[in-house]
Every structure is written in C-alpha cells, then in structure tokens.
Chain A
Amino acid sequence: MAAVAETREVTAPRRSAGRGIVRSGTAWRWVVLVIAGAYFLLPLLVAFRFAGIKAFGSVVSETGFTSSLGLSVRLAIVTTVITIVLMLPTTVYVHLRLPRIRRLMEGITILPIVIPPVVLIVGVLQIAPGSLKSTAYLLSLEYVVLAMPFAYRAIDAGLRALDLKTIVEASNSLGAGWINTLWRVVMPNLTTALLSAVVLTVALVLGEYTMASLALYQTFPVWIYVNSQTSGQVSVAASLLALFVTWLFLMLITVAGTRRSRRTGGGSVTLFTVARQETRGN
C-alpha cells in the first residue's frame, strides 16, 4: 500500500505510470488471496481424499463419537453461559464506574494467553470445590479462563461503541432497575459483541485439546486423536466433519446476528472486529 500512496503524489506527466502500479496492486491482492486460500484449503482437500467418502458414513457409528461430541457441546454451552454471566456485568461495571482500570483489565485478561495451560489447570484444581473435581464440567471453569481474553475484548469493543452511561441513566430514570437495564437495554445493544464473544468461546471449546487430555476427559478433539491411533481414515473424516459443523454453526450465528443488528442500525457481526456505525444526523 505504501507504493500506492506514493504514486498519488507523483506529478501529472507520470500519472499513467502510477495507475499501472495501482493496477498491479489489485493483481497482487488476488495473488495473496489465492496463496492464502491454497494454504488453508489444500490440507482440507488432501484430508478429504485420504479419508474417502465412506469414512464419513462410519464416523457416526464409531464408539465414543456421540458421547465425546455431546460432551464437547455441553461444555461449550456451559462455558459460554458462565463466561457471559461473568464478563458482561463486570465489563459494564468497569465501563460505568471504574473506567480508569480499563487498562488494567486489558492486562489481566491477556494473562490466560501468556500463562501455559498446565499452570492454569493446576490453579483451577487448587481452588475448585471437591464436588466439581470429579465431573467434566471442571473443564468449563478452565475454558472460562481461556475464553476470557476474547470475551472481554469483544464485549469491551461493543460497549465502547455505545453511549453506555447515557442509556443506562435513561433506563434508570424511567424506572428500570439494574437487572432490567442489563437485560432490556444493554444486552440487546450488544448483540453483535455478545455474538462475537459466543462465537469465539464456542470455537475455542470445540477445538481445545491440551486441557481436556491432561484432565483425562474424552472431549471431541481428544476422541479424534485417540481414534486416529486405531483408524486414521475415520478420525480424519471426523475432524473434517467437526470443522464443517463448527463452521456451519458459526455462520448461522453470524447471519442471525447480522440480520438483527442491521434492523437496529448496528454493524455486521465479524469475528474479531466489532464495528458499529453511528448513524446519527441532525
């Protein structure tokens, strides 16, 4: 892009040369797209060829498939609920009452990315109540920690795009208490951000391997790995299926979210940017 910017300043006689560079810039874009596309799609194609169509049929009947997928989905749901219930009020509170510690929050929420998962597991095991330690839902507590950086950033970006203080005060002055204000005023205006948080959390849980295998629970990714030791083709088919199902699920959330926020004038749902156009004229 620097080259393009420079050519704009070139004086009149050389303008045609500048245009040539701009055109080749467009061409470059396609080259990058094709290379990146090949990088992501080729392994999938190869995996697909390796597994063969038949393997897809036998995946579903394989032992452990249903139970491991079921476990992963349940964990995803529990993790998402806990994450939102924890992070939404916290982030709203920070925005309203403690805007000064937003920097600190950003620092804290990045920790799970920096700290190795093993350390997090040991930490959670230390403080988790005994009754939880014997269930797979202990993993959810760990996933909540892992999802925190993404959830916090998504919600934080959504709140920044809102005039939170004013609408919360307006809601209060109209007689709404905190629960009503959060439920009817704040959350509906954060659908984009919350969907981003949900999408990221779900994707993270459905793909997490390290913690689950260390904690000896057979979640879907663990099952795929274990299964690959015995039947390579079926496990590859299973991972492709998992990828497709996850992708389909995320697309559904995204489409639903976009339709909703378009109606109310918000931006579209994207995974990492929560852009919200403020269309307010006089």
Chain B
Amino acid sequence: MTTNTANDAVAASGTRQTTGTRGTSVVLQNLSRAFGATKALDGLSIQMAPGELVALLGPSGCGKTTALRIVAGFEAADTGSVLVDGKDISPVPAAKRDMGMVFQSYSLFPNMNALDNVGFGLRMRKMGSGARRKRAGELLDMVGLSDQARQYPHQLSGGQQQRVALARALAIEPRVLLLDEPLSALDARVRLQLREQIRTLQQRLGTTTLFVTHDQEEALSMADRVGVMRQGRLEQIAAPDELYAHPATAFVAEFVGVMNRVPGEMAAGGMVTVLGATCPVQGHGGEDGGQETPGPGPVDVLIRPEGLTMQVAEHGNGIVTTRTFLGSVTRVAVLLSGDVTVQIDKPSSEAAALGPGTSVSVTLPPEPVLIAPRQ
C-alpha cells in the first residue's frame, strides 16, 4: 500500500489512487505558540523525510504535544508553518488534512463497534458500505482483531481499543500518522507488544509518522530519529544510537538513558580532570559546536554506566553499595569519595565478585566526555 500524493479531490471522492511515491515529507518550520505567558513552542523546526518515524521526547510541558496538535490542525501556531510535501497546510482545517491520529486517551466512538469505528473515516470519504466493510475488515485483521469486529469499545481491553484506534487512523491511508502517547495508558506488557506492532506496520506501510512520548525507552526503540524537546525548543534530533552515544547537551544526556554525574575540574585546553584521568571535553572546538567550554573551575562530568570501568582493588577509590541484576548486565552502585554514587554496568558473570562492601578502583578511559555546570 502506498500513500497518495496531496490531492484533496482524490481524497474527497474516495477513489484512492496509489502512486509510486512512498510516504510524505513533513516540515515543521519555526513553529511558535504561546498560551498566555507560557511559551509552549519557541521556534521549533523539524524536517521529516518520507516514511520516517520521528519521536518527540521530552518532559511534560515541553511543547511536544502542542507541536503534534499543530500538525494535526487542532491548534494554530502563532508563527511558523507546517509543510506537507512542500505545501503549507496552515489554512487547511483538521478534517481535510488527511492525517491519522491515535490519542492518548481511548478515543473510539462508543456508539460504534470496532468495524464501524475503523470504517468511519472511509464513510466520511463517501466510500460505499460494501467496500468500506471489506477495507475495515482488512485493517482489523492487520492489527489482529478480526474476531472483535462486532464488539463495542466497552467490550474491548485498553490494548485492543488502541489497536482499533490505530487501524482506524490507518484506514484512511493518511499522509501522516500522528501518535499522541498512544501507549501511556496501557500496562507494561501490552505496551511492549503494541510498540513493536506499531513500528512493524509503520515500516510496512511507509507512512511518515510523528510520535509524541515522554517515555525515552519507547522513543529510542521505535523511532528512526528522536527529537528531544525542552521548554518549547528542540535540544537535539538524531538517530537513537547517536543520541545516546553523543548527546549534544547535558539535558539530552541526562534525559536519555542513565547518566552519572562525577565532579571534575576543568583544566586548560578544553581538558577536564576526573577520577584521576584527563579527558577532552566533547564538542570542544568540535564541528557541531555542541556546548560552550567553561573556563577552569569545578564542573560535573557526565558518564554513562557502561563508560566507567572498575576493578576489585584493595585500596580503591570506591566501595560497592548495591547491585541490580538487569539480565545480561548487572548495574553496580559504587560510592566514591566525596559522597558521590555512580552506577556502573558489568556483565552479570563478572558482577558476581562485586558484593556490597567490596573495595574497587573506578577509572575512566580517556575518551571525550560531556560536562555540565557543577550541581
């Protein structure tokens, strides 16, 4: 299945043409939106390639939902524009935007069974009832709910409701799929299953998708690129591995994954002394100019749990306090001098020797590190 190109006439008549293009490009251009004195969005720009799944990740109130709602047409931007396939859609009302949306809260129409819910968008596009039922049936089948076609929303579980909502959003062959925290109301196991299902479907259909979430695991596992937002701005947008390995700012570093803060001392030449090692500061004089390097003085150095190494040592610089078994790795908490606790990941087989109270020596390989102002 392919998504048709921008053609309102085609959309309205319901006779969908399938063209060769796969997916639609979406550009958010310098979007700003204020609610009273609060700036929900402050110059947000994102370019989405056709077929791409971009996740907007951030704490609540960072503006990610506002951005999604502007794309959907439920909110208007104060400034900036949204381009779909190069065309500014700002004047187009939500009903004519051809965007499928899945909401955080259950949004199925309580008066319709699953099949009619999925067929609703097709009905609005004046598709005949036979074709509509057939197509809605196919979509329910696609999300694995053909047996529940005749059931009403109140007879379905939360996970099933969201799958019907997904099928309903996809039924109209949307140019863009918008997901507004669709999994956050579900329990952990269902969430995991649905996460995979959404991603698989999205890739198969090649629908350009904007996905809003506050769950970093969800964003990292599903998205082609993740945009981390803070106070209405985009802090960084990058592929998940890039975001994890090379966070552009301390905020991104600490929001994505687990991050240790270890006190260090800035030295001359963009070097920082920490745990007895001297490391270059990431982004210092670098190509993307990630952050400004402060002058000499105390700073916090940000290090991932897997970025630290440790050995059992009789007079080491730390003492193991707790161990958390995570499967193949075990996260070991080590108390360093100065009352600083760091988390260090060890293969579980090696962690057996690191009982609480063990004296260890924690070191840092001399690789570029991120720094943040001392807290």
Q: Taking beta carbons and an 8 Å cutoff, which residues of A are in contact with B?
A: 162-163, 166-167, 169-177, 180, 184-185, 188-189, 191, 263-266, 279-282
Does B289 lie at the interface of the complex (its beta carbon under 8 Å from any beta carbon of A)?
no
Contact call A171/B155, Cβ cutoff below 8 A: no
**B98 nearest CB neighbor, chain A only:** A175
Pairwise interchain contact A265-B109, C-beta atoms closer than 8 A: no
A119 to B: closest C-beta gap in Å:
41
Measured between alpha carbons, how far is A184 from B172 in the docked complex, in Å? 18
Q: Report the stretch among B23-31, B99-107, B276-284, B303-311 that lies at the interface.
A: B99-107
B100 near A173 (CB under 8 angstroms)? yes
Q: Output the least CB separation between A221 and chain B (Å).
A: 37
Q: How far is the CA of A200 from the CA of B178 in the complex (A)?
A: 42
Residue pair B105, A166 in contact (C-beta under 8 Å): yes
CB distance from B13 to the nearest CB of A (A): 12
Residues of A within 8 A of B157 (CB): 281-282
| Chain A residue contacts of B159, Cβ below 8 A | 282
Residues of A within 8 A of B112 (CB): 188
Do A167 and B107 have beta carbons less than 8 Å apart?
yes
Q: Name the distance in Å between A174's Cβ and chain B's nearest Cβ.
A: 4
**B107's contact among A166, A180, A184, by CB below 8 Å, is which?**
A166
Tell me the minimal C-beta distance from B34 to chain A in angstroms.
18
Name B120's closest neighbour in chain A (CB-CB): A174
How many residues belonging to B are interface residues under a CB distance threshold of 8 Å?
43
B-side interface residues toward A, CB under 8 Å? 11, 72-74, 93-101, 103, 105-112, 120-121, 124-125, 152-155, 157-159, 161, 165, 168-169, 172, 178, 185-187, 190
Q: Report 24 cross-chain contacts, Cβ distance below 8 Å, ordered by A residue.
A: A163-B105, A163-B106, A169-B101, A170-B107, A170-B109, A171-B109, A171-B120, A172-B93, A172-B94, A173-B178, A174-B120, A175-B98, A176-B95, A176-B120, A177-B95, A184-B120, A189-B110, A264-B111, A265-B153, A266-B110, A279-B154, A280-B161, A281-B158, A282-B190
Give 11 A-B pairs besides A173-B99, A175-B98, A263-B152 with Cβ atoms closer than 8 angstroms: A166-B105, A166-B106, A170-B103, A173-B97, A173-B101, A174-B168, A175-B96, A185-B111, A191-B111, A264-B111, A281-B158
Known: A188-B111, A264-B111. A280 touches B158 (CB 8 A): yes
Residue from the set B121, B158, B187 with the largest chain A CB neighbour count within 10 Å = B121
Nearest Cβ on chain A to B72's Cβ, whole angstroms: 6
Q: How far is the CA of A281 from the CA of B190 in the complex (A)?
A: 12
B184 → chain A closest CB, angstroms: 12
- Given A263-B152, A265-B155, A282-B187, also A173-B94 (CB < 8 A): yes
The answer for the CA separation of A167 and B101 in the assembled complex, in Å, is 11
CB distance from B176 to the nearest CB of A (A): 10
Q: Are A173 and B72 in contact (CB under 8 A)?
A: yes
Nearest A residue to B189 via CB reads A282
- A187 to B, closest residue via Cβ: B111
Note all chain A residues with C-beta closer than 8 A to B72.
169, 173
Contact A264 B107 (CB under 8 A): no
Q: State how many angstroms separate the Cβ of B171 from the closest Cβ of chain A.
A: 8
CB distance from B353 to the nearest CB of A (A): 42
Which of B72, B97, B125, B154 is packed against the most chain A CB atoms within 10 Å? Answer: B154
Cα A211 to Cα B120 in complex, Å, equals 46
Determine whether the beta carbon of B106 is less than 8 Å from that of A280.
yes
Q: How many cross-chain pairs have Cβ atoms below 8 Å apart between A and B?
A: 98
A175 to B74, CA, bound (A): 13
A265 to B110, CA, bound (A): 8
Contacts of B186 in A (CB 8 A): 282
Kindly state the separation between the CA atoms of A184 and B110 in the bound complex, as whole angstroms.
11
For A266, what are the chain B residues with a Cβ–Cβ distance below 8 Å? 110
Q: How far is the CA of A169 from the CA of B125 in the complex (A)?
A: 17
Point out the residue from B74, B154, B169, B190 that lies within 8 Å of A280, measured CB to CB.
Answer: B154
CA distance A176 to B72 in the complex (A): 14
Give the docked Cα–Cα distance between A281 and B162 (Å): 12
Q: Indicate if the CB atoms of A175 and B103 lie closer than 8 Å.
A: no
Cα–Cα, bound, A175→B8 (Å): 11
Is A174 within 8 A of B105, CB to CB? no
Closest B-chain residue to A261, C-beta based?
B111
Structural contact, A175 and B109, CB atoms closer than 8 A: no
Distance of A163 Cα from B104 Cα, bound (Å):
12
Q: Are B106 and A175 in contact (CB under 8 A)?
A: no
A167 contacts which chain B residues (CB < 8 A)? 107, 109-110
Complex A-B, nearest 3 residue pairs according to Cβ-Cβ distance, in ascending order: A265-B154, A174-B121, A188-B111
B95, B108, B161 — most chain A CB neighbours (10 Å): B95
Chain B residues with CB below 8 A from A166, complex form: 103, 105-107
Contact residues in B for A279 (Cβ distance below 8 Å)? 154
Which single residue of chain B is at the shortest CB-CB distance from A185? B109
B185 nearest in chain A by CB position: A282
**CA distance in complex: A258, B111 (Å):** 13
CB–CB A169/B154 < 8 A: no
In the bound complex, what is the Cα–Cα distance between A161 and B94 (angstroms)? 25
B97 contacts across to A, CB distance below 8 A: 173
Give complex CA distance A166, B169 in Å.
Answer: 14
Contacts of A170 in B (CB 8 A): 101, 103, 107-109, 165, 168
Say whether B152 contacts A265, CB under 8 Å: yes
Across-interface contacts of B11 in A (CB, < 8 A):
175
CA distance A35 to B256 in the complex (A): 70
A181 to B312, CA, bound (A): 68
* A159, chain B: closest CB distance, angstroms: 13
Report the Cα distance A172→B11, complex, angstroms. Answer: 15
Shortest Cβ gap from B75 to chain A (Å): 11
Chain A residues within 8 Å of B106, by CB: 163, 166, 280
CB distance from A57 to the nearest CB of B (A): 45
A264 to B111, CA, bound (A): 5
Bound CA–CA A266/B154 (angstroms): 9
Partner of B124, one of A163, A176, A189, A191: A176
* Residues of the A chain whose Cβ atoms lie less than 8 Å from the Cβ of B95: 172-177
Instruction: Say yes or no: B154 contacts A174, CB within 8 Å.
Output: no
State in angstroms the CA–CA spacing of A170 and B190 once bound together. Answer: 22
